[in-house]
Amino acid sequence: MRKIHVAALAATVTAVLAPAAAQAAPARSTEMLGTYGFGRAAVIGDAGAAAGLWRSPTVRSGFAGDDLTVTFTPRTTPRSSEKLVYTAAFNEVADAQAECRQVGADGVARRVWVSFRCQTGFAPSYTLYVR
């Protein structure tokens, strides 16, 4: 008889907690990250996918540049360590620092990451790190 009560209690707890656990898991979101220079959105999209920050990057060309849309899980807390997203080199983009700051700020605004920093490298290149 006692085994029946324990089993019933376990089933009740599981039934009550299962919906809460499902609700606690953040849902994936598909949003436009931003508009970047022609050809740059594809580079940024592929780099972010390789870093595991999003999946399914899609690029659509417009008048002002290329729009990058990504599917990601929104973040409200920072990662425990920084993640390298990509490096923009001086020979790939006119203003690597501005692009790094724009991508970083776009990611924060859409909650792809919580914070970012752009680190300068050799021959004015900038690497985007996120948390």
**Stretch 67-73: mean pLDDT:** 98
More confident residue, 124 or 30: 30
Looking at the 3D structure of the chain, how many domains does it have?
Answer: 1
Percentage of residues in the chain having pLDDT higher than 70: 80
**What is the arithmetic mean of pLDDT over 24-41?**
90
Q: Is residue 57 predicted with pLDDT exceeding 80? A: yes
Res. 24 pLDDT band, cuts 50 70 90:
low
Residue 74 lies in a domain: yes
Residue 6: pLDDT band (50, 70, 90) is: very low
Domain membership flag for residue 119: yes
In a domain, 14, yes or no: no
Residue with tokens 């598909």: 30
How far, in Å, CA of 35 to CA of 86, rounded? Answer: 16
Reply yes or no on whether the pLDDT at 90 is more than 90. no
Q: How many CA atoms lie within 13 A of 7 on its CB side?
A: 4
- CA dist 88 and 49 (Å) reads 16
The answer to whether residue 8 sits within a structural domain is no
Q: Please say whether the beta carbons of 28 and 73 come within 8 A.
A: yes
Let me know if residue 113 belongs to a domain: yes
Q: Give the DSSP H or E segment for 7.
A: helix 2-24
Domain of 72? 26-130
For all residues of the chain together, what is the average pLDDT?
A: 87
User: Beta 126-130 vs 83-88: how paired, if at all?
Assistant: antiparallel
What pLDDT was estimated at residue 72? 98
pLDDT of residue 9: 45
**CA 50 – CA 7 distance, rounded (Å):** 45
Instruction: Tell me, yes or no, whether 99 lies in a domain.
Output: yes
On the question of pLDDT at 27 being above 50, the answer is yes
Q: What is the pLDDT of residues 37-48, one digit of tens each?
A: 999 999 999 999
Section 97-115 average pLDDT: 97
For 53, the 3-state DSSP assignment is coil
Inside any domain, residue 21: no
Nearest to 105 by CA among 114, 96, 95: 114
The reply to whether 117 falls in a domain is yes
